[in-house]
Each structure stands twice: as structure tokens, then as C-alpha cells.
């Protein structure tokens, strides 16, 4: 009976996802419809698409377990940072300007934006290559954590779970394109909202409730590098490792501003009202889902006996991915079924966003300009090639995930870790400043590409070679997370400096681009009062 309940959840879930893909097939006949949903996606769909693309099984199982173990309840700050920096500020600072300028430039992807904004075909090709290289390992990482949950719930091998998730995602994205992805993201987001609240309540109940759980956690001690022991560190306001916590908050929050699959959600916004509503909904979604995941992970040390702790390292015997599944083992079959659907929803929504971004970038920004140099592919051929690449990207990411899980290849695992930092470090500053500053030169964009990729690869090589630095500063930035944070901050500082020293020369062309923000529109008195109106 217990297994029947879990399987029934999965069958209903799979049927809905495929049904939505079939329902949206008529809107995916050209590039604009397939990639952007004809720029007519409403606020709730856009907000949930943004949120569900943001949070995957990597967050729920991996990061929540890892950082909850390291920082305790202070890991909740990561979720709040994701909500107010990664969602709220992203919508406020990037949302409207991205929608207006990309429509003015007739741009459907981030590399295409770089070409048309900075007048450089080379930038477009370089950006598409960066996205292609670093999104594949990022896509493969989405399967992480699913193995333990499915083994706990169904007792089936990891590879079966990976294949089932891959096939299902491929079906509805290939058939329905962006609109199917957005609608399914909304459904998956609802599951994630209710699921995380139910799971937190159930897990804390196994520890005697919130107050009792906090009291137990306060008895855990932390030994800092100097050898002194801190009592109650895992229930303190900022946790035992403040600098490391700050690095995680910045990378996972500010990083979304430069990730192509996240920014592309703003391209498809329908109207001004959609931006206002989407900002609120997206932020609230992130507070509940991200805040809830990291809050739950903060109690991971209460399950140390069940997980097992390596005395030499102080880390869980089965790795950080073992923490959350161990916390869930005592739940009822219904709740475990909800958790499985929750994690599947989180992973599939992000996977669909990533493969749609990868396929559209490779088709529009690489194959079209490089292979078809003097002529342009027709719409139907572009959509066909994108669909083929969606299947290709999903297949290769699934193979990488299965190979990595079976062989424990360090190279693959490390590549997954640097993907986010490399992409955000390369794209954040040139994209954001390109929306606001007229004089940003293409040289600044190239330097950001070099900084983002260079720092991330340096961190990757040092970790692969097990390099040990004597300097605490170099040791700090050797972490892929802190390296990604450094790349983003350097880009935000260096780009304005380069603009002051060597501003762009094509003034007239850029002025023409920025006229999109000066176009007059009519709004209601609810939002604007005329100058001569008597009050």
C-alpha cells in the first residue's frame, strides 16, 4: 500500500507534465514562441519560472545539507539572500530594462544581446561557447541528490531515476517549448511551496518541535582553527564561520544576475503589471522555498548519529548529500511521496530551463552565424535544430551524471562546482552595466569573460592538483564558491573603471539603442499624476 501511494504520486505528476507539453505545442512553431513564449508570459508564470529555475535538488539535498551542517541555523541567511538579493533586487534592477532593451534589439538570448549591444559578432560566439561548456556540467549536477531519495523511497537504481527524469523533461520541453516549461514550472512551484512547509513541520516534529530542536542544536559545539571550542555556535545569529557564509550568500544570490537561464525569464515578461506582480511573487516564493530549505538543513547535526560522522574530517560519512535523505527517513509514505515529487519538480524545472537556454544559444548564436555565415536559417529549421539539441543536452547530462555517480570521477564533480561562478563571473557585470551605462566598451566585456573563466579555472586546477597555500587569503579564494564571488565582485569594480579610462566610441549607435527607454507610453493616474493636474 505504501509503495502504491508513492507510485500513484509519480504517475499523476508525469501525466500532468506531458499533458501541458501537448497543450502548448501550437505556441512553439517559431523561434519567438519556442524560446520566449511570444513575450506574452504573465506575472505568476514568469515569477514561478524564475523561482523554480533558481532552486533545484542541488539546493534542497546538496546545499541545504552541506551548508546547514557547516553553519547551523545561520544557513537560513543564504535562503534570505537568495530571496532579497537574488530575486527582489534582480527583478527591480534588471527586470524592466532587460525586457525593454532586448525587445528593442530583437534579442532572444544573452550572447545575441552582447553582439547587438556591443556591436561584436565575436562576443556573441565567445559567450555562446562559454555557455555551452559550463552549462553542461551544471545541468548534470541537477541529478545529484536524487539517487539517495529514490533509493530510500522506491529502492530502485539511480540510473533508472536519471533516465526517467530525462525522458519526461525532454518530452514536454521539445513539444511545448518555453510556454510548456513556464506552465509546468508554475505547477512544480506550487508543489515545492506546500511540500517544503509540510516537510519542515514533519521533520521538526520528530525532534520534539521547533523549541526542542533548537535547544538540542544549541548543545552542539564547534572547534575553530585555533583549537578553541565554541558552545551554541550552530544556533548563533551568524553561525561559526561568518566569512564563508558571506561567500555563499553572495555567489548564490548575486550570481543569478549573470546566469543566462535566469535573465532570459525577463525577456518573456508580458507587461509592466507583470513586472510588479512578478517581483512580489518571486520574492515570496524564494523566502519560503530557499529560506525553508536552508532552515531545514540547519538542523542536520541533530541527525549525526544516523548519518555517521568521520572523526578525521568531522563531515558525514556518506557525504553531505546523505543528510537531508536521512532526516526524511522517518516520515510517512505520503510525506515521502511528496518529498520525491518536490525534489523531482525542483530538478526538472531547472533542467528544462537550462536545456532550453543551451539549445537556443547554440542554435541562434553559434550554428546560425558560424555555419550559415551569409544566409540565415528559416524559423522552422531553427526550431527543429533547437529541439534536437534539447534531446542532445539532456542525454549528455544524464550520461555524465550516471558516469560520475558510478565512478566518482573527481574531474566531473569539480567542474559542476565551478559552473555557476564561471558563468556569473563572466556575464554579470557586462550585462547589467550594458543596460544602464552607454559608454561601456567591448574591451570591458572581454576582460570580464577572461576574469570570470580565468579565476574559476584557476580554482578548479588548484583543487584538482591539491595545492596547499600558506596564505589564508589564497586558501579562502581557492574554494570554487569564493572564487566565483571574487570574479563577480572584480567584474563589478573593473567594468566602470575601464569605461572611465577607455569609453566606447560608437556614441550614435549606442544612443539609438538607449532610445528604447525614452519612448513615451501612456499610464493610468493610479501610477502617474500629470504635472498640470489639480489635486
DSSP summary character for residue 94: I
pLDDT of the residue at 264 = 82
CA distances from 103 to 51, 97, 268, 444, 509 (A): 23, 10, 9, 24, 17
CA 169 to chain CA centroid, nearest Å: 17
Q: Which residues of 5-36 are buried (b: 16+ CB within 10 A; e: fewer)?
A: ebeebbeebbeebbebbeebeebbeebbbbbb
**Which cell goes with 401?**
551524471
Would you say 386 and 35 are in contact if contact means Cβ atoms under 8 Å apart? yes
Would you say 67 and 78 are in contact if contact means Cβ atoms under 8 Å apart? yes
Rg value, the chain, Cα: 23
Would you say 19 and 168 are in contact if contact means Cβ atoms under 8 Å apart? no
pLDDT of the residue at 148 = 61
Q: Could you give the 3-state DSSP secondary structure of residue 319?
A: coil
The Cα 447–Cα 426 span in angstroms is: 8
The Cα 263–Cα 100 span in angstroms is: 13
pLDDT of the residue at 432 = 95
CA distances from 418 to 87, 135, 141, 309, 413 (A): 22, 10, 11, 27, 9
| Phi and psi angles of residue 245, each rounded to the nearest 5 degrees, phi first | -60, -45
pLDDT of the residue at 226 = 62
Q: Could you give the 3-state DSSP secondary structure of residue 314?
A: coil
pLDDT of the residue at 446 = 96
H helical segments located in 60-157:
64-71, 76-83, 90, 96-105, 110-118, 121-141, 146-153
pLDDT tens sequence across 244-275: 888 888 888 888 898 888 888 888 787 777 78
pLDDT of the residue at 365 = 76
Reduced 3-state DSSP string for 467-523: CCCCCHHHHHHHCHHHHHHHHHHHHHHHHHHHHHHCCCCCHHHHHHHHHHHCCCCCC
Which residue carries 559550463 as its cell?
Answer: 134
Would you say 303 and 127 are in contact if contact means Cβ atoms under 8 Å apart? no
Long-range contacts of 268-271 (CB under 8 A, 24+ apart): 268/36, 268/37, 268/39, 268/40, 268/41, 268/46, 268/178, 268/182, 269/39, 269/41, 269/43, 269/46, 269/95, 269/99, 270/39, 270/40, 270/41, 270/42, 270/43, 270/46
H helical segments located in 408-479:
410-436, 442-464, 472-478
Q: Could you give the 3-state DSSP secondary structure of residue 201?
A: helix
- Which distant-in-sequence residues (6+ apart) come within 8 Å of 65 by Cβ? 297, 300, 316, 320, 321, 322, 323, 324
Domains and CATH numbers, the chain: 2-407 (1.20.1730.10)
> Containing H/E element for 162?
helix 158-206
Would you say 261 and 354 are in contact if contact means Cβ atoms under 8 Å apart? yes
**Which cell goes with 63?**
546545499
Q: Which of 526, 502, 378, 507 is nearest to 441 (CA)?
A: 502
Q: How many CA atoms lie within 13 A of 347 on its CB side?
A: 31
The Cα 287–Cα 258 span in angstroms is: 21
Crossing angle, helix 158-206 and helix 272-297, to 10 degrees? Answer: 80
| Phi and psi angles of residue 456, each rounded to the nearest 5 degrees, phi first | -65, -40
DSSP summary character for residue 29: S
What tens-digit pLDDT sequence spans the chain (535 residues)?
Answer: 566 766 777 788 778 888 888 887 777 777 777 777 777 777 788 888 888 777 776 777 778 888 888 888 999 999 999 999 999 999 999 988 998 898 889 888 888 899 999 999 899 889 988 988 888 877 777 776 566 666 666 667 777 778 888 888 888 888 888 788 888 888 878 888 888 888 888 888 888 888 898 898 888 877 666 666 777 888 888 888 888 888 888 888 888 898 888 888 888 787 777 788 888 989 999 999 889 989 988 888 888 888 888 777 778 877 777 788 788 777 777 777 777 777 777 777 777 878 888 888 877 777 766 665 556 667 778 888 888 888 888 888 888 878 776 765 555 555 666 888 889 899 999 999 999 999 999 999 999 999 999 998 888 888 777 778 878 888 888 888 888 889 999 999 999 999 999 998 888 899 999 998 887 776 665 554 455 444 4
The Cα 123–Cα 120 span in angstroms is: 5
Amino acid at each position: 500500500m505504501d509503495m502504491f501511494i508513492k507510485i500513484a504520486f509519480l504517475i499523476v505528476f508525469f501525466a500532468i507534465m506531458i499533458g501541458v507539453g501537448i497543450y502548448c505545442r501550437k505556441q512553439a512553431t517559431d523561434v519567438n514562441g519556442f524560446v520566449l513564449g511570444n513575450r506574452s508570459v504573465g506575472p505568476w508564470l514568469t515569477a514561478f519560472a524564475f523561482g523554480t529555475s533558481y532552486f533545484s535538488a542541488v539546493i534542497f539535498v546538496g546545499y541545504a545539507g552541506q551548508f546547514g551542517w557547516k553553519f547551523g541555523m545561520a544557513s537560513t541567511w543564504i535562503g534570505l539572500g537568495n530571496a532579497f538579493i537574488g530575486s527582489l533586487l534582480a527583478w527591480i534592477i534588471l527586470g524592466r530594462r532587460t525586457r525593454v532593451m532586448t525587445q528593442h534589439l530583437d534579442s532572444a538570448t544573452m550572447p545575441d544581446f552582447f553582439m547587438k549591444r556591443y556591436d561584436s559578432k565575436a562576443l556573441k560566439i565567445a559567450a555562446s561557447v562559454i555557455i555551452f561548456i559550463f552549462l553542461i556540467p551544471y545541468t548534470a549536477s541537477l541529478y545529484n541528490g536524487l539517487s539517495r531519495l529514490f533509493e530510500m523511497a522506491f529502492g530502485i537504481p539511480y540510473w533508472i531515476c536519471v533516465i526517467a527524469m530525462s525522458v519526461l523533461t525532454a518530452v514536454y520541453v521539445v513539444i511545448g517549448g518555453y510556454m510548456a516549461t513556464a506552465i509546468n514550472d508554475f505547477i512544480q512551484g506550487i508543489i515545492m511551496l506546500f511540500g517544503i512547509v509540510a516537510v519542515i513541520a514533519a521533520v521538526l516534529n520528530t525532534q520534539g518541535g521547533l523549541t526542542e530542536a533548537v535547544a538540542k542544536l544549541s548543545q552542539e559545539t564547534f572547534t575553530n582553527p585555533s583549537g578553541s571550542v565554541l558552545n551554541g555556535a550552530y544556533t548563533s545569529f551568524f553561525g561559526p564561520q561568518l566569512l564563508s557564509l558571506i561567500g555563499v550568500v553572495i555567489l548564490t544570490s548575486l550570481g543569478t544576475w549573470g546566469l543566462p537561464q535566469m535573465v532570459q525569464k525577463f525577456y518573456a515578461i508580458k507587461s509592466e503589471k507583470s513586472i510588479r506582480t512578478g517581483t512580489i511573487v518571486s520574492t515570496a516564493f524564494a523566502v519560503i522555498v530557499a529560506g525553508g530549505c536552508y532552515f531545514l538543513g540547519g538542523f542536520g547535526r541533530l541527525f549525526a548519529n544516523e548519518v555517521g560522522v568521520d572523526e578525521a574530517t568531522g563531515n558525514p560519512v556518506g557525504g553531505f548529500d546523505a543528510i537531508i535523505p536521512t532526516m526524511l527517513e522517518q516520515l510517512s509514505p505520503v510525506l515521502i511521496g511528496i518529498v520525491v515529487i518536490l525534489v523531482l519538480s525542483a530538478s526538472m524545472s531547472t533542467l528544462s530551463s537550462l536545456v532550453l537556454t543551451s539549445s537556443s544559444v547554440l542554435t541562434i548564436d553559434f550554428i546560425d552565424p558560424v555555419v550559415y555565415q551569409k544566409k540565415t536559417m528559416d524559423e522552422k529549421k531553427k526550431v527543429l535544430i533547437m529541439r534536437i539539441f534539447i534531446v542532445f543536452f539532456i542525454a549528455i547530462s544524464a550520461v555524465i551524471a550516471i558516469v560520475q555517480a558510478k565512478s566518482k570521477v573527481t574531474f566531473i564533480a569539480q567542474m559542476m562546482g565551478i559552473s555557476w561562478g564561471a558563468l556569473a563571473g563572466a556575464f554579470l557585470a557586462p550585462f547589467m552595466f550594458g543596460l544602464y551605462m552607454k559608454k561601456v566598451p567591448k574591451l570591458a566585456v572581454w576582460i570580464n569573460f577572461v576574469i570570470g573563466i580565468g579565476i574559476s579555472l584557476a580554482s578548479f586546477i588548484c583543487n584538482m592538483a591539491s595545492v596547499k597555500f600558506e596564505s589564508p587569503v589564497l586558501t579562502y579564494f581557492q574554494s570554487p564558491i569564493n572564487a566565483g564571488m571574487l570574479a563577480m565582485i572584480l567584474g563589478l569594480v573593473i567594468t566602470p573603471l575601464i569605461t572611465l579610462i577607455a569609453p566606447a566610441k560608437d556614441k550614435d549607435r549606442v544612443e539609438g539603442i538607449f532610445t528604447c527607454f525614452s519612448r513615451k507610453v501612456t499610464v493610468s493616474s493610479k501610477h502617474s499624476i500629470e504635472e498640470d493636474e489639480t489635486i
